Structure 1
Amino acid sequence: MSDQARTDHRPVFILCPARSFSSVVCGMLGQHPELYGLPETNFFVADTVGEVFRWFRKLGPGNLHRLDGLARTIAQLHEGEQTEATVERAWQWLRERPDMTTAELAYHVARRLGNRRFVEKSPSNCSEFDNLVRLYRTFPKACFLHLVRHPRSTGKSLYEMHRRRQGKDAEAADAGNTERIENYWFKVHDRILRFTERLPARQSIRLQGELLLTDPDRYLRQVAEWLEVRTDAAAIEAMKHPENSPFAGIGPANARGGNDRKYMEKPELRPGAPPRVNLTDPLDWMPDGSGFSPTTVALARRFGYR
């Protein structure tokens, strides 16, 4: 890929906190004939491949599994399938390139896709502002979809995920995590806003995930128009089948993850209005029965929630 081609490449990045429908939305967009949905690659948490591995090791034991999506991507694009053997070769390929920049790695993936633009949704893109800067520096003409979900639904999903991971220790760990759930939602969206507000007009859009899942035909067409890709009935229909993504299911034993577990177990689109929630009731996960802070309520209302 020439320097000019790199500059002109227009991948699509879904910016959002975890538990924001990003796995299914990425899977849907990736089924468009001109796009290709990736799992969580975590390209942009550091400047080199070796630093990416070190970044996840620092998070604690077991966090290298968060690179499963990257290994699955390399296996799929290099060998056309994800088996234990192809994924092991992908891990080895990555380990042999600690000094490869993450920009070069992202360009490598883009080059393998030919004329298709990749769609990527790693929550780590938004975990620090520097990651967004690194991403933009790599692909200055990328398109950014700011995906939002009601803070109550997001918080409940994060809380349930936390309790599943903690198992028997969930009760003891709750006190240190309940307040962080709301702060996480607010800080990530605030960071995304500060980033997207600096972009040229039409380089980013914001979309409620609930609307997309309620009326996929309407909103998939709107997203396709924004991306300047096909909007015909066949293209829209293809996007309604995220289960056709090569990353829709659970991966082989040496890279099982890469997307939300529930999505990988049941990747089919299930259109319909989500349960109605509000910004005023006490929060299920707060032991004192408190509600959202005024700053969270104000930001959620800015996104169109009530």
Structure 2
Amino acid sequence: MRPIVILAAPFSGASWLAGVLGTLHGACAVPQLFPYLADNCGELMEIFRLGQDEHGDGLLRLVGQLYCGGQDSAAIARAQQWLQAREQRSVAEVLDEIAATVAPERLLYADCETPLRPIYTRRLLRMHPEADLVHLVRHPWSQGCRFAAWLRECIFVPTDFRDYALFPPCPDPQIAWLRANENIERLIAQWPADRVHRVRSEDLDHDLQGSVDRLAMRLGLSGRVGDPSRWPYAQRGCREAPGGLEADVWADIPEADERLATQLSMSAPLPWRPDGASFAEEVKALARRYGYE
């Protein structure tokens, strides 16, 4: 069965959308798996081990849930062993095994890491050319306000999320927004048009059931939207694998930043920048293509 992959810039609501679509008939929504960081399963596990984030937690929780009796500490330990036994296999083979387990439902997952690097999007194209791609976009202002609030609390901010025209270099969410969406655009230019589906998070906010109905019809899913909080991965996991969803699901965004995120603008000074600059012209041009004014 063809997988469904939701691609988006960070803090666009991709994991939330996966949980919503997972309440429909025909989809098995799973946590973020980050499968396109490596070709080989052993290499992928090593990247997870060396990383400073929770990138490996979603795959561990999924394997624990499907094959090891749940998501508690003992199940996560067995999930580690399950993956170690497949270290010599390709990531595509492991995903195919998981997809066969959940069939006839289609494997569905969000991915906000793959769009940040062309090497990852090329791996997606090579590994799953049959997939349906859902391109989720969010207004760069609301995405930026929430992302900036989260970045303020981070000890480590990736160097390529900073604007080095300023001193000291300033974390700037529009960099990730532009890079991710441009890389997705390049990828979907190589994809069959009937397997590319774009949705704006604002349309979901305005008319969730109607927007999901239209998307579901194109994806071959059916049913009414259920309660995504009942999704097995909706809450934090055990100590050994607490993550699995994008940070914006659990981020504690201050109320002032949430209010600011609703005051959409394409020309106002960006509140996270100290120099009073507004969006770069490239960001404005791409946002207009998505219908944002």
User: Normalising TM by the smaller chain, what interval?
Assistant: 0.7 to 0.9
Instruction: Return 5+ residue gaps in structure 2 as ranges.
Output: 157-162, 253-260
Q: Normalising by structure 1, report the TM-score.
A: 0.84
| Identical positions, percent | 29
Contact 2:150 2:251 in 1 (8 A): no
Q: Which residue of 2 aligns with 1:48?
A: 40
Written as runs of structure 1 = structure 2, the 5 A alignment for 1:230-245 is: 230=222, 235-238=223-226, 241-245=227-231
Counterpart check, 1:107 vs 2:111: no
**Given residue 96 of structure 1, which amino acid in structure 2 is its aligned partner?**
A
Distance 2:180 2:278 in 1: 19
1:160 corresponds in structure 2 to 149
Q: Does 1:278 align with 2:265?
A: yes
Residue 194 of structure 1 corresponds to which residue in structure 2? Answer: 186
The residue type paired with residue 244 of structure 1 is: R
Structure-2 change in CA distance of 1:175 and 1:50 (3 Å): farther
One-letter code of the match for 2:56? L
Structure 1: which 5+ residue stretches go unaligned?
1-8, 168-172, 267-273
Alignment match, 1:247:
233
The alignment status of 1:294 with 2:281, answered yes or no, reads yes
Report the TM-score, using the length of structure 2 for normalisation. 0.88
Listed one character per residue, the Cα deviations across residues 136-165 of structure 1 (whole Å, up to 9, x for unaligned) are: 322222110100001111112221111112
Distance 1:81 1:262 in 2: 24
| Structure 2: distance between partners of 1:136 and 1:76 | 28
Q: How far did 1:57 drift?
A: 5.0
String of CA shifts for 1:164-203, please: whole Å, max 9, x gaps.
1229xxxxx9943424x22221111001001102211211
Residues 35-86 of structure 1, C-alpha deviations (whole Å, 9 max, x = no match): 0111111111110112113334555xx33x2110010010011134211110
- Say whether 1:37 aligns with 2:37: no
In 1, Cα distance between equivalents of 2:219 and 2:263: 30
Partner of 2:58: 69
Aligned mates of 1:264, 1:75 — CA distance in 2: 21
Distance 1:70 1:265, change over 3 A: same
Aligned counterpart, 2:258: none
The corresponding residue for 1:206 is 198
1:175 and 1:120 mapped to 2: Cα distance?
Answer: 37
Q: Does 1:119 align with 2:111?
A: no
Aligned residue for 1:229?
221
Bigger proportion of residues as helix: 1
Q: CA RMSD in A?
A: 2.1
The secondary structure found in structure 2 opposite 1:237 is: coil
Q: Give 2:7's match in structure 1, choosing from 15, 27, 32.
A: 15
Number of residue pairs the alignment of both structures matches: 276
Q: CA separation of 1:31/1:175 partners in 2, compared to 1, >3 Å: closer, same or farther?
A: farther
Of residues 73, 83, 87, the one that matches 2:76 is 87
